Amino acid sequence: MKFLDEALINVQSGDGGNGCVSFRREKHVAKGGPNGGDGGKGGNVLLQTTSRMYTLHNFRFKRHFRAERGQHGRGKNQSGKSGTDLIISIPIGTIVQEAETGHVLKEFVKNDEFFLAVRGGRGGLGNQHFASSRRRAPRYAQQGEPGQTLSLKLELKLLADVGIIGLPNAGKSTLVSKLSSARPKVADYPFTTLTPSLGVVDSHENDPFVIADIPGLIEGAHLGVGLGTRFLRHVERNRFLLHLVDLSTVPPKDLLGPYETVNEELRKFSTSLSEKAQVVVLNKVDKSGASAVAEELRKVLEPLNPDIWVISAIKGEGVEPLKDYLAGLVEKVRQTEYDKN
């Protein structure tokens, strides 16, 4: 299934039903009064998050949504039935904006969050409401109010505790598959990951956490080169980052090159991204000569970031200790956020 992280939709609430003009017509009643019922209210359109959706794929072909209109009032003071509300399901992490202005209406970060997008039209009053001592037989009623129409832009940012970043083919998808039950498609060529994937990692001593495989970043990504800004914004929602470096492709004369390339793109895209905490993981230590490269790279990396791990994701070497460490780190970050709130 194609990953869709942006969608444009049109939502329209239901029209209100019209009020009714009616009079009593009963045998043996000399003068019957007005008894026109009210129109029903139009249905609202609401957005609701669900943990069962991970993309905006459902909006690829269906983009127009309209709630039910209210029924008209009837005689004998019978009010029309209100229109049923229309609830549109969206994934957690969706940002809702007005399509024309870009104004952010709502940012969803939890499951089962609701947002009233457009309110249904009010039902019109029946002629019973307009009777008075001077106007005993009003022959008019209110029209129902029309529903509201709004164009919305939906933008999805993946929510995860840990976001894996790195150059293409660094082994991000493989690491996700080793750490969690997720099974992303992997292959040995650049830009393997075209779809960000989430995996739930179970820990022995801490609560489970969510890890996101962010597609590879290349030089110029902040300008849209490669997969570019489409996926850079997903990194913003992660609590901290796991920076994966492929030891088999580190240039001998520029050991920090791959590491600095990715961090430079983060900095150019968003200052807050460059300030996120990172755990540096040197991958593919099973490759020939990779151990020596890891030692040299560790020496130049430690002054910049001492939190360095060496693993082989494909062989599983060093993955379990890394998993336990990440779980403990996630727990600390969650507790810090809880204390602030």
User: How many Å is the Cα radius of gyration of the chain?
Assistant: 29
pLDDT of 20 higher than 80? yes
- Binned at pLDDT 50, 70 and 90, residue 32 comes out as confident
Dist. CA 264–CA 282, nearest whole Å? 18
Dist. CA 176–CA 162, nearest whole Å? 11
The answer to whether the CB of 145 falls within 8 A of the CB of 41 is no
Q: Which of 15, 42, 32, 41 is nearest to 75 (CA)?
A: 32
**Whether residue 206 is found in the same domain as residue 322:** yes
Residue in the structure block whose two tokens are 């003071």: 77
Looking at per-residue pLDDT, the higher value among 295 and 194 belongs to 295
Residue 189 is predicted with a pLDDT of: 41
Residue 31 is predicted with a pLDDT of: 63
**Whether residue 231 is found in the same domain as residue 90:** no
Percent pLDDT > 90 in the chain is 54
Q: Which of 122, 141, 156 is the last residue of a domain?
A: 156
Q: Which of 156, 186, 211 is the last residue of a domain?
A: 156
Range of the domain at 93: 1-156
Domain count, the chain: 2
**Whether residue 118 is found in the same domain as residue 171:** no
- Binned at pLDDT 50, 70 and 90, residue 234 comes out as low
CATH number of the domain that 235 lies in?
Answer: 3.40.50.300
CB count in 10 Å sphere of residue 105: 15
**Whether residue 81 is found in the same domain as residue 181:** no
